[in-house]
Amino acid sequence: MKNYFYAIIALFILNSCKINPYRLSDRSYKKQIKAYQKSIGNADTKPLENGQTPKWISTVNFNLRKPNFVVIHHTAQDSLQQTLRTFTLSKTQVSAHYVISDDGTVVQMLNDYLRAWHGGNASWGKNTDINSASIGIELDNNGFEPFSEAQINSLVALLTRLKKDYNIPTNNIIAHSDIAPSRKADPSAFFPWKNLAALGFGFWPEDQLEKAPDYFNVEQALRIIGYNTQNLSSAIKAFKLHYIQTEVDDTLDEKTINTIYSIYKKQ
């Protein structure tokens, strides 16, 4: 009986000592949160250029700023573990709010109100700090395979909650390739944008496309949708990766022009 008791105690101790591979990043996360709490809570002001230092008088009416975009990525890695490792090492300087594995498991890596490093140098419309305004979702996918049903179901559940909690406009649920067309091509053409649009996440062109008028300006329309058109060919390609997934190139044929017109009209 006594031995049995000791065995139970030993098992308990062993279990509580089980090494959590992410204990260092957990600790660092908590430490950073504490530092931010302190700096946000400080009632101090900075001197202006003219030498005046603003006086502090606290208001009572405020809350937290909310994300207004969701950016979807594929990880281009081979497993969830590999991605989690990448996002918990400080030398990589990349992260996302959520990672969804192939089997549908959702991992959250930082609070929605905090700024993850997933967009890089990116813009959508006049917004040039997408990381500050967005939630980043990474889908565990190597870029050359279809997205699993379980993964997309979890993504839909997550998008449903985010869209409701933060009142995110449907046109602000976008791809990494949309916000960084000359650098990125994720998520791949396998990504089911059409199905998502049918559920209220993003736009999709009509089956019967209306012919764009002769005066229709493609570059201007892409810019109004949100694309950075400095490199027009990249913007066209990114648009096609999202809306004409069977022809991902920079060819401006009639179908492409009419599809751009269709999405432009929805703005």
Q: What residues act catalytically?
A: 138
Smaller CB separation from Zn ion, 141 or 256: 141
Number of residues that bind Zn ion (CB under 5 A): 3
Smaller CB separation from Zn ion, 73 or 97: 73
242 sits near Zn ion (criterion: CB under 5 A) = no
Q: How many CB atoms lie within 10 A of CB 7?
A: 10
Nearest approach, Cβ of residue 134 and Zn ion (Å):
12
Sign of CA dihedral 139, 234, 193, 170: positive
Interface pattern 72-111 for Zn ion (x via CB under 5 A): -x--------------------------------------
Would you list the DSSP string of 124-168?
BTTB--HHHHEEEEEE---SSSPPPHHHHHHHHHHHHHHHHHHT-
Nearest approach, Cβ of residue 89 and Zn ion (Å):
17
Strands 106-108 and 98-100: antiparallel
Smaller CB separation from Zn ion, 77 or 262: 77
Nearest approach, Cβ of residue 72 and Zn ion (Å):
8
Q: Whole-angstrom Cα distance, residue 150 to residue 147?
A: 9
- Rounded-to-10 torsion of CA 180, 165, 199, 223: -30
Q: Which of residues 23-82 bind Zn ion (CB under 5 A)?
A: 73
176 sits near Zn ion (criterion: CB under 5 A) = yes
Nearest alpha-carbon partner for 67 in 157, 174, 144: 174
Nearest approach, Cβ of residue 66 and Zn ion (Å):
22
Interface pattern 114-153 for Zn ion (x via CB under 5 A): ----------------------------------------
Smaller CB separation from Zn ion, 87 or 261: 87
Using alpha carbons only, what angle is made at residue 127 by residues 255 and 223, rounded to the nearest 5 degrees? 25
Find the binder of Zn ion among 101, 186, 202, 240 (CB under 5 A). Answer: 186
Smaller CB separation from Zn ion, 183 or 255: 183
- 209 contacts 255 by C-beta, under 8 angstroms: yes
Q: Is the peptide bond before 169 cis (omega within 30 degrees of 0)?
A: no
Q: Whole-angstrom Cα distance, residue 135 to residue 69?
A: 6
Smaller CB separation from Zn ion, 73 or 223: 73
Nearest approach, Cβ of residue 71 and Zn ion (Å):
8
User: Would you give the DSSP letter of residue 41?
Assistant: H
Nearest approach, Cβ of residue 39 and Zn ion (Å):
29
| Binding residues vs Zn ion (CB under 5 A) | 73, 176, 186
